[in-house]
Copies of this chain bind each other. A is one copy, B any other.
Amino acid sequence: MQAFQDRLGRNIAFLLRVRLYGREDVRGKLCDAVAGAGAVLAELELEEIEETSKDLVYLLTVFTTGDDQLAAARDAINQIDGAAVMETVDVAMESHRGGSCEMTAPPIESNTDLRIVYTPGVARVCKAIEANPDLARDYTAIGNTVAIVTNGTAILGLGDIGCVPGMPVMEGKSAIFRNFAGISAIPILVDTKDPERFIETVVTIASTFGAIQVEDVAAPACFRITRELDERLNIPVMHDDQHGTATIVLAGVKSACKQLGRDLARMTCAISGAGASGTAISELLQQAGIADVILVDSKGIVHRDRDDLNPEKRALAERTNKDNRTGGLAEAMQGADLFVGCSKPDLVSQEMVRSMNADPIVFPLANPVSEISRDDALDAGAKIYADGRYMNNAIAYPGIFRGALDTGATCITRAMMLAAADALADIVPDGELLPEMMDPDTHAAVAEAVAAAVEE
């Protein structure tokens, strides 16, 4: 994955169709033009040689920081004598045209097929389920279906952009569920900021699904929503930003401990950000036996003498920060062995990294720009570094749901998350912190470990 991370943030792909007017000697200038604009030329492919004019038509795949760099590259190409950009395609936009997931069904090729999939054949299936509700697991899609529910209040790093603008993210998640775990995942936009209404809506439609993924709902509403849904429904409910991220971080920490020969029980972790992820990471690290966790929110270290804490943070203050330390992020990081960032870009200075214990582990997960860059962190003495692009929770949640659905689990427990983290840490290739997301074995290992934890 490292290969795709450009430190200058040139990750927006465009396809340029460029015509060279009967001249072959300007190809080098094409490459120079793209480079001159600051963009990366990823691919250059001859599409055709026109028969009469002998013009050459090339397809250029160009990675840019965005529209400005694209415009600069286009201008530079158009200024070459004998070259012109004929067409520009926004690769991400085009890939999402028509959406990224859809409901499909086996072909109905005859009236006989129809009379089985629908009436009268289907009535027999309905009656069988009515007589024995457990059969719904085998004779409907419910048992393999996950609802991805969002209210659009915390879409990626984009914030509260609303449900419909958040839909491409939900569709992307659905594609990940399908590809990595064979799960039918249905985006459901729950268009309300009222947690009560959100909960009631999801409860009312929950019998459609085998599990619920709460997705990109802002804190603190996400806590109440996840907790109440979990209490009221007899199917697994997971909040990706809490449970998925915590599982991945724990797996990464376990791998790092192995590499460095460290003992988690003797480590202290500073966490920047006490939202959904920070809270869940704190809890899972403690469950896994870490010595102490110091959480920092926008007002400073979460400690027992603060009188501005909401109920979630008050509870955290009781369970973390054993010495009741006060101060800000700098104070929290002093003497810590591990830093996890779930907050904002560039909050961490090199000085702060230098104040940590020897050979610290630094996981600044803020997206799209992390709390401290790799170069700055390593330069300040960080021994192991991983950012939010590397610590992708899509390595964890498809397998967690697969394991939960396969065993008919009724909730996602800490034991299941711990088992998933262990399974991930067990199969990490040398020199990595997490196994490869594109490898089906990764998700199979998680599913198996989670299923075993459920059976236990």
Q: Does A302 contact B (CB under 8 A)?
A: no
Expressed in whole angstroms, the minimum distance between the Cβ of A115 and any Cβ of chain B is 6
Q: How far is the CA of A324 from the CA of B92 in the complex (A)?
A: 65
Taken residue by residue from 55 to 94, chain A's Cβ proximity to chain B (1 for < 8 Å, 0 otherwise) reads as 0000000000000000000000000000000000011110
When the two chains form the complex, which single residue of B127, B133, B438 contacts A164, counting CB atoms closer than 8 Å? B133
B207 touches A165 (CB 8 A): no
When the two chains form the complex, which single residue of B3, B141, B156, B175 contacts A106, counting CB atoms closer than 8 Å? B175
Expressed in whole angstroms, the minimum distance between the Cβ of A419 and any Cβ of chain B is 25
* Chain B residues, CB < 8 A from A260: none
* Chain B residues, CB < 8 A from A130: 158, 161-162, 165
Q: Which residue of B lies closest to A127 (CB)?
A: B158
A141 touches B171 (CB 8 A): yes
When the two chains form the complex, which single residue of B95, B124, B155 contacts A93, counting CB atoms closer than 8 Å? B124
Given the contacts A117-B172, A118-B175, A127-B158, A139 and B93 also touching, CB distance less than 8 Å: yes
A165 touches B129 (CB 8 A): yes
Q: Does A100 contact B (CB under 8 A)?
A: yes
A116 touches B176 (CB 8 A): no
Q: Does A53 contact B (CB under 8 A)?
A: no
Taken residue by residue from 97 to 108, chain A's Cβ proximity to chain B (1 for < 8 Å, 0 otherwise) reads as 111111111111
Q: Does A111 contact B (CB under 8 A)?
A: yes
* Chain B residues, CB < 8 A from A288: none
B179 touches A105 (CB 8 A): yes
Given the contacts A102-B103, A106-B100, A190-B205, A119 and B156 also touching, CB distance less than 8 Å: yes
Interface of A is mostly: helix
**Contacts of A200-232 to chain B: CB distance below 8 A:** 200-201, 204-208
B169 touches A142 (CB 8 A): no
Expressed in whole angstroms, the minimum distance between the Cβ of A100 and any Cβ of chain B is 5
* Chain B residues, CB < 8 A from A384: none
Q: Does A286 contact B (CB under 8 A)?
A: no
Chain A interfacial residues counted at CB < 8 A: 100
**Contacts of A1-39 to chain B: CB distance below 8 A:** 1, 3-4, 11-13
Q: How far is the CA of A367 from the CA of B184 in the complex (A)?
A: 32
Q: Which residue of B lies closest to A1 (CB)?
A: B111
Q: Does A309 contact B (CB under 8 A)?
A: no
B92 touches A168 (CB 8 A): no
When the two chains form the complex, which single residue of B13, B107, B114, B162 contacts A437, counting CB atoms closer than 8 Å? B114
Taken residue by residue from 140 to 171, chain A's Cβ proximity to chain B (1 for < 8 Å, 0 otherwise) reads as 11101100000000011110011111111101
Given the contacts A102-B141, A104-B104, A205-B201, A169 and B118 also touching, CB distance less than 8 Å: yes
Count copies of this chain in the complex: 2
Q: Does A428 contact B (CB under 8 A)?
A: no
Q: Does A136 contact B (CB under 8 A)?
A: yes
B156 touches A101 (CB 8 A): no
Q: How far is the CA of A105 from the CA of B126 in the complex (A)?
A: 28
Q: Which residue of B lies closest to A109 (CB)?
A: B438
Expressed in whole angstroms, the minimum distance between the Cβ of A436 and any Cβ of chain B is 9
Expressed in whole angstroms, the minimum distance between the Cβ of A312 and any Cβ of chain B is 25
Q: Does A186 contact B (CB under 8 A)?
A: yes
Q: How far is the CA of A123 from the CA of B165 in the complex (A)?
A: 9
B179 touches A126 (CB 8 A): no
* Chain B residues, CB < 8 A from A208: 163, 167, 187-189
A/B interface sample: 5 pairs, CB < 8 A:
A12-B120, A95-B117, A103-B177, A117-B176, A197-B204
Q: Which 7 residue pairs spanning A and B have beta carbons closest together?
A: A99-B141, A105-B175, A92-B121, A118-B172, A102-B184, A130-B165, A103-B184
Given contacts A96-B122, A108-B176, A123-B156, 16 further A-B contacts (CB under 8 A): A4-B115, A12-B120, A92-B124, A95-B116, A99-B145, A100-B106, A108-B175, A114-B176, A122-B156, A126-B165, A126-B169, A140-B167, A140-B168, A141-B167, A142-B164, A197-B200
